[in-house]
Amino acid sequence: MNSIDKLSEIFKHFPGIGPRQAKRFVYYLLSRDKATLKSLSEAIGALSEETTQCEDCRRYFCIGSPSKTSPKCTTCEDESRDPFLLMIVPRDADFESVEKSGGFHGYYFVLGGVLPILEKEPEKRIRIAELKKLLKKKEEVKEVILAMNANSDGENTAEFLKDEIRTLKPDISVSTLGRGLSTGAELEYADPDTLKNALLHRTK
**Chain residues 147-166 in contact with a second copy, contact rule CB under 8 A:** 147-151
Binding to a second copy, residues 43-62 (CB under 8 A) = 43-51, 60-62
| The only residue of 79, 139, 171, 191 in contact with a second copy, by rule CB under 8 A | 191
| The only residue of 103, 120, 121, 129 in contact with a second copy, by rule CB under 8 A | 103
| The only residue of 16, 118, 121, 129 in contact with a second copy, by rule CB under 8 A | 16
Give bridge partners of residue 146 from the DSSP assignment: 88, 176
Q: Which residues in 29-128 belong to E strands, given as ranges?
A: 51-53, 60-62, 85-89, 107-110
Residue 9: C-alpha distances to residues 3, 14, 17, 26, 56 (Å): 10, 10, 11, 10, 34
Range in contact with a second copy (rule: CB under 8 A) among 2-10, 67-75, 116-124, 126-134: 2-10
Distance CA 81, CA 14 (A): 35
Give bridge partners of residue 143 from the DSSP assignment: 85, 173
Report the 10 Å Cβ neighbour count for 33: 8
Distance CA 173, CA 74 (A): 26
User: What does the per-residue mask of binding to a second copy show for 20-39, with x meaning CB under 8 A?
Assistant: -x-xxxxxxxxx--x--xxx
Looking at beta carbons only, is 59 or 134 nearer to a second copy? 59
Range in contact with a second copy (rule: CB under 8 A) among 74-82, 119-127, 133-141, 168-176: 168-176
Range in contact with a second copy (rule: CB under 8 A) among 6-14, 66-74, 76-84, 124-132: 6-14
Range in contact with a second copy (rule: CB under 8 A) among 71-79, 95-103, 124-132, 163-171: 95-103
**Of residues 42, 56, 60, 46, the one with CA closest to residue 88:** 56
